[in-house]
Amino acid sequence: MNDLEKIYVEYFEPVYKFLISLGCDIHSAEEITQETMFIAIQKIDSFKGNCKLSVWLCQIAKNLYFKKRKEGKKLVSDEKLDSIAVSETESDPELKKKIYELIHNLDEPYREVFYMATFGDLSLKEISSIFKKSESWARVTYHRARLKLKEDLKDEMQL
């Protein structure tokens, strides 16, 4: 197995999961991951090594995802929100649905950072690298997203 094949085998799943964490449906995530790997193989010489290879690949995937979203292609399935298990809400499907609606309604970049950290299992350092911002920025953005979700959920529960 050559180096490019090793990269493909090792990083396909993390990039795929990253796209799912952005809210991409499974078919689009697979397609964009394939496209990401193709671009990465073509441009591997431009990888400078100043970040982890996984971060570089996720940046390519993120750019492709938003490019396709901008073009108006459907990338998020309605079932996506229902398919993610949230242990605290397993016994209350309505609450689970409401939480996902609130997450979905967060403004950018709060929604994206929240998805990456919560469902994508990316560290704040990795998130900051993807956004080309400081780790403090990622931490504050994630914290604000959590506060906004808590506030919105509290408001919803009082209705």
Domain boundaries, the chain: 3-70, 89-158
Say if CB 103 and CB 115 are below 8 A apart: yes
| Strand segments (E) across the chain | none
List of the chain residues with pLDDT < 70: 1, 72-92, 157-159
Q: Which pair of tokens denotes residue 55?
A: 């971060």
pTM for the full model? 0.50
What pLDDT digit, counting tens, does each position of 70-89 carry?
776 544 443 333 343 344 44
CATH assignment of 89-158, among 1.10.10.10, 3.40.50.1450, 1.20.1090.10, 3.20.20.150: 1.10.10.10
CATH number for the domain formed by residue range(s) 3-70: 1.10.1740
| Residue 38 pLDDT | 87
